[in-house]
A and B are shown apart, each in its own frame.
Chain A
Amino acid sequence: MSDSTLTHADHAHAHPPYQRHHFETMQQQVDATGFAMWLFLLTEIMFFGGMFTAYLIYRNWYYPAFVAASHQLNIFWGSLNTLILISSSFTMAMGVWSAQMRKQGALVLCLVLTFILGLGFLGIKTIEYKEKFEKHHVPGAHYSLQSFLNPDSDAEAKAAGDKPLPLDMARHTEIYFSLYFAMTGMHALHMIIGICLLGYMIVRARQGAYTGGHISFVEYFGLYWHFVDIVWIFLFPLLYLISRHQ
């Protein structure tokens, strides 16, 4: 890649190999790249923001449909996933700490734990999605209103003590599931990207790339991972816990 290299004779000081030439000091590089990462997270906030807006509007309009539809979600899996993600945020934070303290073994352990927890989350999501698919609650041509028109025919609806919904309100459960899949799907996509990056980081960490004083990659990935956790912190009550009381 073409670069803007001054001859090294011009450098009055040596600089670390990982400092880019357009930065005057390492501190400037760290400041700039950290700030850039935060700006990227801002774009992610606004990206998810559109879906949260849609959710707020339709929950307001079709509250009974949202309540009934949310009873189709399994609180056990949802809670477990929440615990898994919070734990993975903890292990990630500890990973950043390990990198700062230059403890390579601890760093690798923390990254591996985060990786496993992330996979666990996705595994549970797969179970949940599969169940939705089997019960014909995926929006589109095969969407079925049966669980909401006739709650006794559906185990979850019966357990929640749901009453049958009128036809047009039952139709609106499809919007709930649209938002459910759009929001958790987008979230899961971000998790997948994160897990791939974690895999790469584990390999590099074992080579000592992050325990020599240059921890930026780990730190910024940590910010990304925590952000994904925060999205779930909101998704969980909004999707799973609308109302478990009747």
Chain B
Amino acid sequence: MSEHNVHHDPHAPADHDDALEGHIVSPVVYIVIFFALLVGTALTIAASYVEMGPWNPIVAIAIAVTKATLVVLFFMHVKYSPKLTKLTVGAGLFTFLVLIFMTLSDYISRAWGRW
């Protein structure tokens, strides 16, 4: 394997395609995502001090899901990954949701009517 010293302007868009090292994401992207995550954290803390009735947990989960999505897509490179990786993440998410929602289907409906 030939030795090659890659001199890249780290602020240039990632165009290096040595497939073995995977798609190289520019640090600029990482910095932007990092700040987005910080903002999200601040938002979610602030939101917990505001009375929004049933919307409180929804907002909290929504912010958490957004943060998690950013981490998955950019820090974990899923946005730049092959379809199989995306499918795998989707399958995991799907099974996780089945576990939660189908179990909840029992708990939610226990108090309904009597027959």
Binding site for B on A (CB under 8 A): 16, 26-27, 30, 34-35, 38-39, 41-42, 45-46, 49-50, 52-53, 56-57, 60-61, 75, 79, 82-83, 86-87, 89-90, 92-94, 97, 99-102, 213-215, 219, 222-223, 226-227, 229-230, 233-234, 236-238, 241-245
> From DSSP, what is the main secondary structure of chain B's interface residues?
helix
Contacts A53-B100, A86-B41; A245 near B84 (Cβ below 8 A):
no
A56 and B30 contact, CB distance less than 8 A: no
**A229 to B33 Cα, complex, angstroms:** 14
- Chain A hits for B20, CB < 8 A: 26-27, 30, 213-214
Tell whether, in the assembled complex, residue B100 and residue A49 are in contact, meaning their CB atoms are under 8 Å apart: yes
Give Cα A244 to B91, complex, Å. 35
Q: In the assembled complex, which residues on chain A have CB atoms less than 8 Å from the CB atom of B79?
A: none
Beyond the given A38-B88, A46-B96, A214-B20, could you list 18 further A-B residue pairs with CB under 8 A, ordered by the A residue number? Answer: A41-B92, A45-B95, A45-B96, A49-B96, A53-B103, A57-B104, A75-B45, A83-B41, A94-B30, A219-B22, A223-B76, A229-B71, A236-B64, A237-B44, A238-B60, A241-B45, A243-B56, A244-B48
Closest to B23 in A: A100
Our pick among B33, B34, B48, B51 for the contact of A237 (Cβ within 8 Å) is: B48
Structural contact, B27 and A237, CB atoms closer than 8 A: no
B12 at interface by CB-CB < 8 Å: no
* B5 (CB) vs chain A CBs: closest residue: A102
Contact B71 A46 (CB under 8 A): no
Say whether A100 contacts B24, CB under 8 Å. yes
Q: What separation, in Å, do the CA atoms of A179 and B67 have in the docked complex? A: 23
Q: How far is the CB of B81 from chain A (nearest CB, A)?
A: 8
Q: Can you list 27 A-B contacts (CB < 8 A)?
A: A34-B85, A35-B84, A35-B85, A38-B88, A39-B88, A42-B91, A42-B92, A53-B103, A57-B103, A57-B107, A79-B41, A79-B45, A82-B41, A86-B34, A90-B30, A93-B74, A100-B16, A100-B22, A100-B24, A101-B10, A102-B5, A226-B75, A236-B41, A236-B64, A241-B48, A242-B48, A245-B50
Decide: A97 near B27, CB < 8 A? Known: A49-B96, A60-B107, A237-B48.
Answer: yes
Inter-chain contacts of A229 with B (CB < 8 A): 71, 75
Q: Mark B32-52, 1 if CB is under 8 A from A, else 0.
A: 011001100100110111110
A87 near B34: Cβ-Cβ < 8 Å: yes
Contact A45 B6 (CB under 8 A): no
What is the count of residue pairs linking A and B with beta-carbon distances less than 8 angstroms?
140
B55-89 residues with Cβ-Cβ distance < 8 A to A are: 56, 60-61, 63-64, 67-68, 71-72, 74-76, 84-85, 88-89
List of A residues within 8 angstroms of B100 by Cβ: 49, 52-53, 56
List B contacts of A83 (CB < 8 A). Answer: 38, 41
Instruction: Provide the residues of chain A in CB contact with B25, threshold 8 Å.
Output: 93, 97
Q: Given A35-B85, A57-B104, A94-B30: A102 and B6 within 8 A (CB)?
A: yes
User: Is there contact, CB below 8 Å, between A16 and B1?
Assistant: yes
* Cα–Cα distance between A230 and B76 once the two chains are bound (Å): 11
